[in-house]
Amino acid sequence: MIDKPTRFLALCHFWVAFGAFALACVLGLYQVLERSGLVPAIQSPGVYFASVSTHGVLMAFVLTTFFIMGFGYVVAVSSLKTPLWNPKLAWAGFGIAAFGVALAALPLLTGNASVLYTFYPPLQASVLFYLGATLLVVGSWLWCVVMIVMHSQWKAAHPDETVPLPMFATTANAILWLWTSAGVALEVLFQLIPWTLGWVETVDVGLARTLFSWTLHPIVYFWLIPAYIALYTFVPKAAGGELFSHDLGRAAFLMLVVFGLPIGFHHLYMDPEQGSGFKLMHGVGTFLVALPTLLTGFTVIASMEIAGRRRGGSGLFGWIGALPWREPLVLAAILAFLMLIAGGFGGIVNASYAMNAMVHNTAWVSGHFHLIFAGTTVILYMAVGYYIWPRLTGKPLCSASLPVIQLWSWFLGMVLMTTPWHILGLLGQPRRISSVAYNSLLTLAWDPYELAMIVGGLVLTGSALLFAYILWQSQARPAAEQAFEVEYAGYQPADGPVHPLLNGFKVWNVAILGLMVLNFGYPILQFFLAKTFGSIPWGY
């Protein structure tokens, strides 16, 4: 079993993550109710946009970062079978990140940072918001250091061996995050903070949006990689089988890191400050990065088929029924795939260079990323939570059926909420409005969908609170401590260790550098070559 101090470290991370998540869900419920206009008493753009900003920050930055850090420590210690390197540094990372969250929470909750989690200059928030976000990122960088050092120390001690897949993927994620977060760090440190403190008068919005787009796409792979680790290494075992294959799995993680970074301009297709050529280049990369996800789908489904057949399932589809559907990891994987297929289809529409104009900034986009993030990714975070809780607390879960109910209700809520969003998006409803105030016949067609959205929000919030309850109840009840091990799905390689290219990152870092210079070099440089005009700060 993992040593006690590391278990406590991980539990602290998970509680910050899941606490932020539960709070963000309650805010989400308020938002669907408010924007439907059905309860006039709660109509308020001021409260709504403060809530949307807080919801976005809690979900996209706090839930993810703390979950990923806690999970990373567990993976490192359990897969490498070595003690945690430099626990003090790990705690410092936790402390700095948590302090950053508290600092950013003050202006967010008081309506002094209603600039959404995407910042949106020249709207200007309280400086505490930018400082808090920076500290959160700086804390996570310390986690990256711990992961990378543990990876290379293990490799030095085991020169002819293959780094275990979960740790290889975790290190890939740490490297991805260092590259990814650099864009937003440059924007905040060199543009937003000096401008908010009044050291410079104006901010170049075109440059700020370009830097943010650098971060905005690969950040979703930072969130997704832990979910993929669970798919590759926990799910096959939970289903009663083994990993179908191993090498392409490692290649898939590498492809996410290398192709995922230089493609952010698909968020800027509709923007005037970048030219068509670079947008098209990033668009091509966006399609290439679908490949690792298609490979992951194949490998994980094939692994589950092995398990299903081993459990007596036969025929073309009979193995699906034979899977242990009441096993949270297996159920979550199946539901995650269903949401990934629907969300992936929406993503292809968004990524399509020309078709994007139809859906850009409409409710379709909210539907898409809620399916991919809150659906696919978070449902696997939940399943990891259920798997890991006994291994951190030493106590079994308080119930076997409640997690199953909770995962199904999360899926149902997502379907109920995101289906109307996709339809509303096609009908042209903007994603970020607090009420429908357009005096137009076209927009009357939106009304019936608002109701389904509220039911979805209610189911989701109930499900999120149930999730927090199960974890709390399991940890708090009195029970004798037992030893639960973290175990990973087995794979027997055909002949010897993997190719060195699939066992390290040096070459790949050079490849990323080249691609980043190619895809972002001139697009950033152009703001310094031409005489651009910055914007003064604006309130909201």
Partner 1 sequence: MAFHIHPLERKWLYAASAAIAIFLASILLTALFGGIHPPGHMEIIDSARLHLDGEFMEDKLGVRTEPDGSVRVTLVAARYGFFPREIQVPAGTPITFRIASADVLHGMHAPMTNLSTMVVPGYVSTVTTAFPKPGEYPMLCNEFCGMGHDHMWSKMTVVSKESWTLAHPSAGR
CB of 147 to partner 1, least distance (A): 25
User: Given candidates 498, 511, 516, 524, which one binds partner 1 under the rule CB under 8 A?
Assistant: 498
Alpha-helical (H) ranges within 110-203 are 127-157, 165-186, 193-196
217 lines the binding site for partner 1 (CB under 8 A): no
Q: Tokens at residue 373, please?
A: 């993030």
Among 194, 500, 514, 521, the residue binding partner 1 under the rule CB under 8 A is: 500
User: What is 278-291 written as a DSSP string?
Assistant: HHHHHHHHHHHTHH
* Tokens (6 digits) for 316: 């073309």
What is the smallest separation between the CB atom of 56 and partner 1, expressed in angstroms? 11
What Cα–Cα distance (Å) separates residue 435 from each residue in 46, 119, 257, 439? 12, 21, 39, 12
* Rounded distance between C-alpha atoms, residue 419 and residue 275, angstroms: 34
Is residue 282 a contact residue for partner 1 (CB under 8 A)? no
Q: Does 490 bind partner 1 (CB under 8 A)?
A: no
Residue of 110, 153, 440, 473 that binds partner 1 (CB under 8 A):
440
Could you tell me which stretch among 136-144, 256-264, 276-284, 336-344 binds partner 1 (CB under 8 A)? 276-284
The whole-angstrom separation of Cα 47 and Cα 112 is 11
184 binds partner 1 (CB under 8 A): no
Phi, psi for 121 (deg, rounded to 5): -60, 150
| Least CB distance to partner 1 at residue 255 (A) | 11
Spatial separation of the C-alpha atoms in residues 412 and 393, rounded to whole Å? 30
Q: Is position 429 an interface residue for partner 1 (rule: CB under 8 A)?
A: yes
By CB under 8 A, the count of residues binding partner 1 is 86
Q: Does 195 engage in binding with partner 1 (CB under 8 A)?
A: no
Is residue 259 within 8 A of residue 285, CB to CB? The reply is yes
Q: Are 376 and 346 in contact (CB under 8 A)?
A: no
Residue number with CB closer to partner 1 (153 or 276)? 276
Smallest distance from partner 1 to CB 96, Å: 30
Q: Which stretch binds partner 1 (CB under 8 A): 100-108, 224-232, 290-298, 464-472?
A: 290-298
Q: Give the residue with the Cβ less far from partner 1, 141 or 508.
A: 508
Which residue type occupies 367? G
Indicate whether 213 belongs to the interface with partner 1 (CB under 8 A). Answer: no
CB of 91 or CB of 298, closer to partner 1: 298
374 contributes a contact to partner 1 by CB under 8 A: no
Contact between residue 226 and residue 172 where contact means Cβ atoms under 8 Å apart: no
* Residue 1 vs 306, nearer CB to partner 1: 306
- Count of Cβ atoms closer than 10 Å to residue 514 Cβ: 12
- Is there a contact between 205 and 289 (Cβ–Cβ < 8 Å)? no
Residues marked active site are found at: 217, 221, 368-370, 431-432
**Long-range contact pairs involving 343-350 (C-beta distance under 8 Å, separation at least 24):** 343/368, 343/369, 343/371, 343/372, 343/375, 343/376, 344/290, 344/293, 344/372, 346/371, 346/422, 347/372, 348/290, 350/266
Question: Taking CB under 8 A as the rule, does residue 431 contact partner 1?
Answer: yes
Q: Which is nearer to partner 1, 198 or 272 (CB)?
A: 272
Residues 333-362 close enough to bind partner 1 by CB under 8 A? 348, 352-354, 356-358, 360-362
- Judge contact between 388 and 486, C-beta under 8 A: yes
Q: Which of 195, 244, 389, 520 binds partner 1 (CB under 8 A)?
A: 244
Q: Which is nearer to partner 1, 243 or 332 (CB)?
A: 243
Under rule CB under 8 A, which residues in 73-132 are in contact with partner 1?
116, 120-123
* 536 counts as binding partner 1 under rule CB under 8 A: yes
What gap in Å lies between CA 48 and CA 182, rounded to an integer? 30
CB of 252 to partner 1, least distance (A): 11
